[in-house]
Amino acid sequence: MDGFSYSNIFETKGIEYIAVIIFFAIFVPFWIILNRKVKASRQIQKKLGALTANVLKVPQGLLFSKNHTWAHLEMSGMAKVGLDDLLLHITGDVKFNNLKKPGDWVKKGDVIVEIDRNGKQLKVLAPISGEIINTNSALNEDPMAVSQDPYGQGWVYKMKPSNWIAETNAYYLAEDASRWAAMELDRFKDFLAVSMKKYSAEPSLITLQDGGEIYDNPISELPSPYWQDFQKDFLNQPF
């Protein structure tokens, strides 16, 4: 046919086409892997949610210590004590070790129980002095009750206080307790930022991308050094 000429595109632009093919051969698998990671991260965010002051439960009739325990004096003269909601949001579901027995005597600041998450422990300090009258049996049968209802079904001890007024007069109550809880969450964020930098861990599963909020249960899966620092630098506040 007059005027017709044939040219082989692989001879004229072969290098360009080969480069494009190689590019897609590398990019597509990378894109698939990256997309899977993004989806997994979003699923984790959706599952865990963000830990903000708005999600914290702070009953207005309880007294809160700086060590993240609470105490409530009942009409009978007995006092219930337990763990506060912020501590449980930080750790996630825990088991209880070395529970005191009825008849045991504790002094304010003594270790009253050890909480355990996958082999990592924190020591909880007594908010008041007195005699242990009863231990919540539900803690062994259903430890999740504490996380789900820390101020109701999740109480830890009933005690006969020996010096209630003097030992609780500096505790937080009502609106003061709500403000304190919000400030403690901010203090925890600062603690976590320092710890993350100290141990050079991957922060992606702890800090959200938007707003700088942290996930619920932020130290639940972190290694023991974080828990040790949390005990020393955050939880063990002077009474």
Among residues 108, 107, 109, 112, the alpha carbon closest in space to that of 122 is found at 112
Q: What CA–CA distance (Å, rounded) separates 208 from 222?
A: 16
Q: State pTM to two decimals.
A: 0.77
The rounded distance, in Å, linking the Cα atoms of 96 and 46 is 28
More confident residue, 154 or 3: 154
Amino acid at the residue 40: A
**Residue 48 reports pLDDT greater than 60:** no
Structural domains of the chain, with CATH: 63-239 (2.40.50.100)
> Edge-to-edge strand order for the sheet containing 95-97?
95-97, 111-117, 120-125
Distance of CA 165 to the CA centre of its chain: 32
Distance of CA 210 to the CA centre of its chain: 19
Token pair for residue 178?
């709500």
Tell me which of 34-48, 196-210, 213-227 is least confident.
34-48
pLDDT tens-place string over residues 66-101: 999 999 999 999 999 999 999 999 999 999 999 999
Helices (H), 13-163: 14-48, 85-91, 138-141, 144-148
